[in-house]
Amino acid sequence: MDLAKKLSENFILERTSRFNPFPEVITVLEKLSQRKQLAILTNGDPYLQWTKISNSGLNRYFDTVIISGTLGVGKPEPDIFLHTIKKLNLLPNNILMVGDNLERDVLGANKVGIKSVWINRKKKTNHTAVSPDLEISSLMDLL
């Protein structure tokens, strides 16, 4: 096996084995998935992202998983958000994007009329021109 392939395989193994959701994630997803249609919209390599999602067991809470690498376009580009809107078969104002990145998650959602929530666990100051509709410090704040 050549070095590049071995490094690639080790990278995937390390990235997927070290993915641990925040403690409140399961509780929140269990409650929300009983009431709402849930989707994951994530940037990255499809194999890597899907492995992290399925190995953690998070996939059972989501109706839709959209990974940028399968579409060739990622957040914050409007096209991936428009694809998500179409896949969910909802109007943008009936979708809530919850993300921890102002530039990718919040800005992308704002561009297409999706309401945005910035999860700011470390209570950082927003020094950008991006304005979320809501700022929270824990997913529990969604309940």
Could you report the per-residue pLDDT of 58-71, keeping only the tens digit for each? Answer: 999 999 999 999 99
The pLDDT assigned to 21 comes to 78
Specify if 15 maps to a domain: no
The pLDDT assigned to 20 comes to 73
**Structural domains counted in the chain:** 1
Rounded CA separation 95/93 (Å): 6
Angle between the N-to-C axes of helices 46-55 and 3-17, in degrees from 0 to 180, rounded to the nearest 10: 30
The pLDDT assigned to 23 comes to 83
Could you report the per-residue pLDDT of 86-139, keeping only the tens digit for each? Answer: 999 999 999 999 999 999 999 999 999 999 999 999 999 999 999 999 999 999
Q: Which residue intervals of 1-140 are DSSP H helices? A: 3-17, 25-35, 46-55, 68-71, 78-88, 107-111
Specify if 16 maps to a domain: no
Specify if 3 maps to a domain: no
Confidence of residue 2 (pLDDT cuts 50, 70, 90): confident
Specify if 116 maps to a domain: yes
Specify if 114 maps to a domain: yes
CATH number at residue 95: 3.40.50.1000
pTM, two decimals, is 0.86
CA nearest to 100, candidates 81, 118, 114, 74? 118
Question: What percent of the chain lies above the pLDDT cut of 70?
Answer: 87
